[in-house]
Amino acid sequence: MPKKRSQPANEDSLIQLLKYRYPSKSPQLKKGIGDDAAVVRPTGADEFWLITSDMLVESIDFRREWTTPRQLGRKSISVNLSDLAAMGARPRFFTVSLAISPDIPERWILDFHDGLAEKGNALGAHLIGGDLSRAERHIVVSITAFGESLNGKVLYRSGGKAGDLLYVTGSLGRSAAGLKLLQDPGIKSRVRLRKEALKAHLDPEPRCAAGLWLAQSGLVSCMMDLSDGLSMDLPRLCAASGVGAEIRAQSLPIFQPCALWNCDPVDLALHGGEDHELLFAVPRSRNRQLEDKYPARFPRITRIGELIPGKGKVWLAGQRPEERHWLLPQLGWDHFKSVP
Amino acid sequence: MPKKRSQPANEDSLIQLLKYRYPSKSPQLKKGIGDDAAVVRPTGADEFWLITSDMLVESIDFRREWTTPRQLGRKSISVNLSDLAAMGARPRFFTVSLAISPDIPERWILDFHDGLAEKGNALGAHLIGGDLSRAERHIVVSITAFGESLNGKVLYRSGGKAGDLLYVTGSLGRSAAGLKLLQDPGIKSRVRLRKEALKAHLDPEPRCAAGLWLAQSGLVSCMMDLSDGLSMDLPRLCAASGVGAEIRAQSLPIFQPCALWNCDPVDLALHGGEDHELLFAVPRSRNRQLEDKYPARFPRITRIGELIPGKGKVWLAGQRPEERHWLLPQLGWDHFKSVP
C-alpha cells in the first residue's frame, strides 16, 4: 500500500487503494467498493438493492457537438443501468446531478431530462431526485442508479473458476467504430452501418433483460459489463475471480464493417470502450445447457475463450493455432489517464 | 408549464417542471423529486430509505486554494447528510463520483477520500462505491447518500399548517461570515471567532442527531435544511406546505461578531447560504412540550416566527413592533444563477 501511493494515479490502483482503506462493516452491506455496483440488503427487505454511480464529463466522455441533449440523457442513464444489468438487477430508481455552463438554454436541460426519463422508464428506472448546479465551462452528468435483485440472485465479478468458458453478448467494437465516424467526418459508409455504429456510441442499449436472465439461470459463475474495452475489463474480472483468461482473436464478435473505415475490427473489439455488452463465464459442465436455453430474443452470445489458472493474466491466442499466445496489453479506456 | 419554458432557468422553476414532467408511479416510491431527499420503501423493508444527491463544483461551490482536500471531503459528505438529517433519517451509505483535473496529485485524492470516509463514518455513513473521472480543469464532487428512517418516521417539507411556530437550530450566517473572511483576507478578527466562522463554512456539522430526535418526537410538522439561505429556503418550505410565514428580524440567531467584518449579521442570517441548520415548524399546542424536551446536548433551537395563511409568501417583521412587514426578498443562493 505505501508503495502504491508513490505511483502515478490510475483508476484501478486507486479503486484498490480505496477499497482497502475504507472497508465497510455494516451488516446491511453485502458488497462495497470494487464491483459494477454495491449490494445492500435493507433490514427486512425481500431483495438485495444494488447501487451504482457513473459520471460523464464533457470533452472527456462526450462532446456537445456530437450528441443531442436527448441522446446524452439516454446514454447517461443507459451506462448506469448497464452496471446493474451486469449483476442481474432490475432497474428501479435513479438520481441525476447535472452541472451546466451558463450558455446552456433551458430547452437543452429539458431535452436532456426527457432522454433520461424516457430511457429510464422504458427499462423500469424512475427519476426520483438530484441536483442542478452551475459549472463554468463543461457539462458534468452524475447519475446514481438503484436496482433490485430477483429471488436474491446477484452475479459478481468474483465467482469465476479456471476452466469456465467466457462469453460476451452482442458485438464488440461497434461503439468505438461510431466514435471513429464522429472523429473523422470524411469517412464514407453505407447509411445502415453508419447508423448502427453511431447508435452504439451515442445511444447504447444496456443488456438489462439478458443480464437478469443470466443471473436467474443459475448457470453463470461471474459477470461484468464491458465499459472500458475487453482488454481493460477482462483483467478486472480475472483479478476479482483470482484467475487468468485466454481469448481467441478469431472468436471475437467483431464489427467487421469498420475495416472499411481505417479501423482494425479486432483492435476495436479488444480495446474500444463503451460497448456496454455483458462479459460472463459459465462452468464447462453447463455451457451446453446455457446455449440451449438462452432466449433467441436477446442479443446473441458468443464464446470468446476461457478462464485459466494465473491470477489477472490475460492471453490472446492468434489467428493460427500454432501462433504463440500474447499477454493482452491493457489498451482500453482508463478514465483517469486518457483523453479522447 | 409552457409559460415557464420561455422564462430564464432558475433552480426552483426547473425542479417544479421536472417534478410535473416525470411523476413516478412506483409502489415502492413514497416521495420523489421536490424534498430534501427521495423516500422509498424497498419491498418488505422495515424502514423507509432516503436518497439524496448533491454536487459541488470547483469555482462555483468551493475554491481549491481555500480548502484542504480533507476539509472538502468532509464538507462534501456533510452537506448530503444534512439533507438526510432534515427528514429525520439515519445516515447509512454513500457513493462519490469525482472528476479531477490532471494536475491533482494522488495524495490529494486520498486526502479527499480520507475526509469523506472520516466524516461519513463518524455519522454512520459508509463509502460503498462511486466513480473516478478526468476533468479538463475543474474538480467536481458528486455524492449520493442513503439514510434509513427510524420507526417509519420521516419529516417532509409539506406538513406545516398556518399557526405553527417556526424554529431553527444553531445560528445563521456563520458560514457566510466564514466565506467573507476567505474572500477578504485583510479582515482582522479574534482567533476564536475566525476559527468558528471558517469551520462553519469549510467543515459544517450536519444536524443528524437533532434531526433524528425531532422526527422521533412527533412534535414537528415539517422540516428542511438551510443550504441556500433562509430567504431562499423558507419560501420552499412554505410552498410545499401551502402556507406563508412571518419571521422576526430580532429573533434570528445571528452571528453577531461578523458586524466587525463589514457584514450585517441580519443580512447574512437571512441571505447567507450553507448554514446547514434545520428549519422546522411545531404546532402551537406543542411548542412548550418541544422546548421542554429538546435535549440540551444538541445545538440550541430558536423560535424565529410562525407559519401564516398565504401560500409561499414570506414576511419579515422589523425591529420595532410598529414597523411594517416586508415581503422578504429571495436573495439567497440560487445554484443556477449565482457565482460567488
What are the tens digits of pLDDT across the range B254-296? 999 999 999 999 999 999 999 999 999 999 999 999 999 999 9
Helix (H) or strand (E) holding A147: strand A140-148
Nearest to B64 by CA among B137, B115, B118: B137
Choose among B42, B98, B110: nearest Cβ to A42: B42
pLDDT score for A80: 98
Size of interface A-B (CB pairs under 8 A): 256
Residue whose entry in the numeric block shows the C-alpha cell 426519463: A117
- A337 → chain B, closest CA residue: B134
H or E segment and range at residue A82: helix A69-85
Is residue B158 packed enough to be buried (19+ CB in 10 Å), middle (13-18) or exposed (0-12)? Answer: middle
For residue B105, give the chain A residue with the closest CA.
Answer: A9
pLDDT, greater one: B171 or B331: B171
Whether residue A47 and residue B42 make contact (CB cut-off 8 A), yes or no, is: yes
- Phi-psi region at A15: left, alpha or beta (left = phi > 0; alpha = psi -120 to 50): alpha
Residue A200: in which H helix or E strand, if any? helix A191-202
Q: For A195-228, what is each residue's pLDDT tens digit?
A: 999 999 999 999 999 999 999 999 999 999 999 9
Give the whole-angstrom CA distance, residue B291 versus residue B268: 26
pLDDT in the model for residue A7: 36
Would an 8 Å CB–CB cutoff place B47 in contact with chain A? yes
Q: Can you give the pLDDT at residue A56? A: 96
Spacing of C-alpha A60 from chain mean position: 17
- Each of the 340 residues of chain A gets a pLDDT tens digit; together they read 233 333 345 777 777 778 778 787 789 999 998 899 999 999 999 999 999 999 999 999 999 999 999 999 999 999 999 999 999 999 999 999 999 988 899 899 999 999 999 999 999 999 999 999 999 889 999 999 999 999 999 999 999 999 999 999 999 999 999 999 999 999 999 999 999 999 999 999 999 999 999 999 999 999 999 999 999 999 999 999 999 999 999 999 999 999 999 999 999 999 999 999 999 999 999 999 999 999 999 999 999 999 999 887 888 887 666 666 766 666 666 655 543 3
**Rounded CA separation A204/B185 (Å):** 50
Contact between chains at A97 and B53 (C-beta distance less than 8 A): yes
CA distance B84 to B93: 11
CB atoms within 10 A of CB A311: 13
Over residues B98-119, the mean pLDDT reads 93
The band of B100, judged by pLDDT with boundaries at 50, 70 and 90, is very high
The pLDDT value recorded for residue B299 is: 98
Confidence band, pLDDT 50/70/90 cuts, at residue B318: confident
Interchain pair B38, A117: CB under 8 A = no
Q: How high is the pLDDT of residue A335?
A: 57
Q: Which of B95, B126, B148 sits opposite A144 (nearest CB)?
A: B95
pLDDT band at B332 (very low <50, low <70, confident <90, very high): low
Confidence (pLDDT) at A96: 97
CA distance B18 to chain A (A): 8
CA B78/CA B276 separation, integer angstroms? 9
Hey, is the C-beta of B18 within 8 angstroms of any chain A C-beta? yes
| B26 has a chain A CB within 8 A of its CB | yes
Q: Is A44 on the interface with B (CB under 8 A)?
A: yes
Q: HEC string of chain B? A: CHHHHHCCCCHHHHHHHHHHHCCCCCCCEEECCCCCCEEECCCCCCCCEEEEEEEEEECCCECHHHCCHHHHHHHHHHHHHHHHHCCCCEEEEEEEEEEECCCCCHHHHHHHHHHHHHHHHHCCCEEEEEEEEECCCCCEEEEEEEEECECCECCCHHHCCCCCEEEEECCECHHHHHHHHHHCCCCCCCHHHHHHHHHHHHCCCCCHHHHHHHHHHCCCCEEEEECCCHHHHHHHHHHHHCCEEEEEHHHCCECHHHHHHCCCHHHHHHHCCCCCEEEEEECHHHHHHHHHHCCCCCCCEEEEEEEECCCCCEEEECCCCCCCCEECCCCCCCCCCCCC
Name which of A14, A53, A127 is nearest B109 (Cβ-Cβ).
Answer: A14
In this complex, is the C-beta atom of B92 within 8 Å of any C-beta atom belonging to chain A? yes
Inter-chain contact A135–B140, Cβ cutoff 8 Å? yes
Residues 303-322 of B with CB under 8 A from A: none
Please state the rounded mean pLDDT for residues B291-318.
93
Q: Which residue of A has its CA nearest to B59?
A: A136
Average pLDDT, chain B: 91
User: Does B42 contact A46 at a Cβ distance shorter than 8 Å?
Assistant: yes
pLDDT value for B6: 34
Residue-wise pLDDT for B172-197, tens only, equals 999 999 999 999 999 999 999 999 99
Which is higher by pLDDT, A141 or B336? A141
Nearest to B60 among A11, A22, A134 (CB): A134
Residue A193, min C-alpha distance to chain B (Å)? 31
- Is the CB of residue B96 less than 8 Å away from at least one CB of chain A? yes
Judged by a CB distance cut-off of 8 A, whether residue B103 touches chain A is: no
Reported as a single tens digit per residue, the pLDDT across B2-41 is: 333 333 457 777 778 787 787 877 899 999 988 999 999 9
Helix H or strand E encompassing A49: strand A49-57
- Give residue B23's pLDDT: 80
C-alpha cell recorded at residue B6: 420561455
CB contact under 8 A, B32 and A338: no
Alpha helical stretches, state H, A229-326: 230-241, 265-271, 287-293
Q: What is the ipTM of this complex?
A: 0.92
Query: H or E segment at A117?
Result: helix A106-122
Residues of B in contact with A89 (CB under 8 A): none
Query: Is A285 at the interface with chain B, CB within 8 A?
Result: no
How far off is chain B from A130, nearest CA to CA, in Å? 5
Grid coordinates of A20:
482497502
Q: Which residue has the higher pLDDT, B137 or A112?
A: A112
Element (DSSP H or E) covering residue A99: strand A90-100
The three cell numbers of residue B200 are 462553519
Q: Is the CB of A122 inside 8 Å of chain B's CB atoms?
A: no
pTM above 0.95, yes or no: no
B47–A47 CB contact, under 8 Å: no
What are the chain A neighbours of B340 within 8 Å (beta carbons)? none
CB contact B294 to A (< 8 Å): no
B 129-148 → A contacts, CB under 8 A:
129-138, 140, 142, 144, 146, 148
What does the alpha-carbon distance between residue B307 and residue B281 come to, in Å, rounded to a whole number?
Answer: 8
